[in-house]
Chains A and B, each alone.
Chain A
Amino acid sequence: MEKTYSNKAIIVSLVLPGIITFIFAILAPIILSGYYSTTDFSGLGDFTFIGFDNFTELFKDKTFWTALTNSLLLAVGFIVIQHPLAIMMAALLDRKGKRAEGFFRAVYFLPNVISVVIIAYLWKFIFNANFGLLNNIVEMFGGKGNINWLGTGNAIWSVLIVLIWHGFGWGMLIYYTGIKNIDPVLYEAAAIDGCNNKSMFLRITLPLMKPVIQVNVTLAIIAALKQMETVYLLTNGGPGNETQFMANYLYKQAFSSFRYGYGNAISVVFVAICIIATQVLNVIFREREER
């Protein structure tokens, strides 16, 4: 038996496809990215090695810091607006949804199955100054309805609205599943003790949901760091670089500004930030649990 389980040829044949795919599509590109990050390659022609010049430039690059701030702002938006709302709606659905539970859950999640391309273009129309939905709503409430939603000063908030709207169902669904796993006996017992809905939510639901909240918050922060598609299609970082995010910025540098080397330097820092953020969040939450 041991012989069958440690047969080298079989092991190699089983893991090789996975390893090759991983190396070819993820590992090698990341390493190559590190290599190009030390060059002044424009994307075409020759290039020279310039050491860490790209990185020193990056830390002085205002747009890079804007991008990082925007990610942080988005993460705050997720944690302060999207998640409390999501967890509350999940709890309401679970306790009060009755037969409509499945319907509401399906409706909340629906935007998530629609391509980012459609979502971004749809919102472009919603923000449209002439026939856009939002300005029509503003008009309905007596406003002037000529707000330039994607203009200077407004754009970042509009981007935030789209992202918070789009991701809501996903977060809600995960909380909902977590709440479903709570033993209903607890609620029954609390009801017998004369506990009201509010304290049931605060004393039973929230504490028991702590691990789910931690996972969800981690995912939200990472998603905020990784944000690219919606911004790329909605504003491409503009006006100016107001709504720039890291992933979009590296893409723009490489393919629009023809600074492929510099784009790769951003890419390397970007990966590092994502990995560090994941690790730090894991450590924080793990220590909390042990206490």
Chain B
Amino acid sequence: MNDRVMKRSSFPIGKIIIWILLIAVAVIQIFPLVWLLDFSVASSNEMFTNGLLIIPKVIHFDNYVKAFVDGNFLLYLKNSLLINVLAVVLVLIISIMTAFATTRMHWKLSGTVRIIILLGMMIPIHATLLPNYVIYDKLKMTDTIWAILIPYIAFSLPQGLFLTSSFMASIPKEIEEAAIMDGCGIYRIIIVIITPMLRTSLVTVSIMTFLNNWNEFMMASTYLNTDKWRTLPFSVLKFTGLYSSNYAVQFAVMALTAAPMVIIYILLSKHITKGVAMGAVKG
């Protein structure tokens, strides 16, 4: 590389502008969340001052206590965790089974079945809200865990199937053919040989499924009428009703509700960004 190019690419003004741009966008993306945190430890009276952020006289952690107790935080968190873990596990299992049947097994309709399920990617969830509401009502499924678990699985399945089957196609058949020679059954091949080899794509599928369903709200709000299976986003809704004039507590409940996923994101940031990128590009 000659000197002239080196000099130009490290020209300070250009560099400063670039950094200002990078930081400005970061501020725009993160400032609303900083604002949220700031207001969540203030008292409601302090909010009506000018200026962007408040320096609270007393840090009101009691806002969080109220949010935690009155927001039914633990119940909603338990529901969210249970429903999402079940959804991820079931999506993985069903995706592997369907992918194996449609890419490896020999039968006439394999292509058709695969395409039909993949078409599910084009169907917006909102188009199923009205009919599903009636179906679940008729089947007395409203307010049961199935009313959201089943649609969560169904809408994550197309992408799960897509990712697992395209990955499965790249696994050489020789290994499993050798296993069949040794008298190994299909089920055992799937569990012992195929599943471990699919690891990377299974991680992607898990992340995408978890991310999509953890924050899902419309279906949960349509199919669940009581607190029994409601998920985390509902604690925010509950509070706007309960404490409509106590803004500080509302801020606290929002911060608290966002916390679990933000913590997971900070811990697994690398995997999540990789997973999302892979899932989105391939999906």
Using CB atoms and an 8 Å cutoff, list the residues of chain A in contact with chain B.
Answer: 1-2, 4-8, 10-11, 14-15, 17-19, 21-22, 24-26, 28-30, 32-33, 36, 85, 89, 92-93, 96-97, 100, 102, 104-118, 121-123, 125-126, 130-131, 133, 136-137, 139-140, 165, 168-170, 173-174, 176-178, 188, 191-192, 194, 196-197, 212, 215, 219, 225-226, 228-229, 232-233, 247, 250-251, 254, 260, 263-264, 267-268, 270-271, 274-275, 278
Contacts and interface: CB of A to CB of B under 8 A. Distances in A.
Contact of B262 (A114, A116, A251, A260): A114
A228 B126 CA distance: 8
B69 interface: no
30 contacts: A1-B180, A4-B186, A5-B104, A5-B106, A8-B107, A10-B186, A21-B150, A22-B117, A22-B154, A29-B135, A32-B134, A36-B131, A106-B265, A106-B266, A107-B30, A113-B265, A114-B215, A125-B39, A125-B251, A131-B47, A136-B51, A165-B28, A169-B29, A247-B124, A247-B126, A264-B131, A267-B129, A267-B130, A270-B127, A274-B123
Interface in B48-84: 48, 50-52
Contact of A30 (B19, B128, B186): B128
B273 A26 contact: no
Listed from nearest, the 5 A-B pairs whose CB atoms lie closest are: A25-B154, A247-B126, A177-B277, A29-B131, A14-B101
B21, B32, B93, B234, most chain A CB atoms within 10 A: B32
A131 B215 contact: no
Interface of B: 1-2, 4-5, 8-9, 14-15, 18-19, 21-22, 25-26, 28-30, 32-33, 35-36, 39, 47-48, 50-52, 93-95, 97-98, 100-102, 104-107, 113, 116-117, 120, 122-124, 126-132, 134-135, 150-151, 153-155, 157, 161, 177, 180-181, 185-187, 211, 214-215, 217-218, 232-234, 236-237, 240, 247, 250-251, 254, 257-258, 261-262, 264-266, 269-270, 272-273, 276-278, 280-281
A15 B277 contact: no
A15 B269 CA distance: 34
Given A92-B21, A271-B127, 12 more contacts: A4-B180, A25-B150, A33-B127, A33-B130, A102-B269, A106-B273, A110-B262, A125-B36, A125-B251, A131-B247, A133-B35, A274-B127
Contact of A96 (B15, B26, B135): B15
Nearest to B282: A215
B277 A176 contact: yes
Contacts of A85: 25
Interface on chain A toward B: helix, strand, loop, or mixed SS? helix
Given A14-B97, A177-B277, A226-B126, A232 B218 contact: yes
B236 A19 contact: no
B127 A25 contact: no
Nearest to B93: A17
Nearest to A263: B130
A22 B116 CA distance: 9
A168 B177 CA distance: 46
Contact of A116 (B14, B15, B95, B215): B215
Interface on chain B toward A: helix, strand, loop, or mixed SS? helix
Nearest to B54: A131
Given A229-B217, A260-B130, A19 B113 contact: yes
Given A226-B126, A228-B218, A122 B254 contact: yes
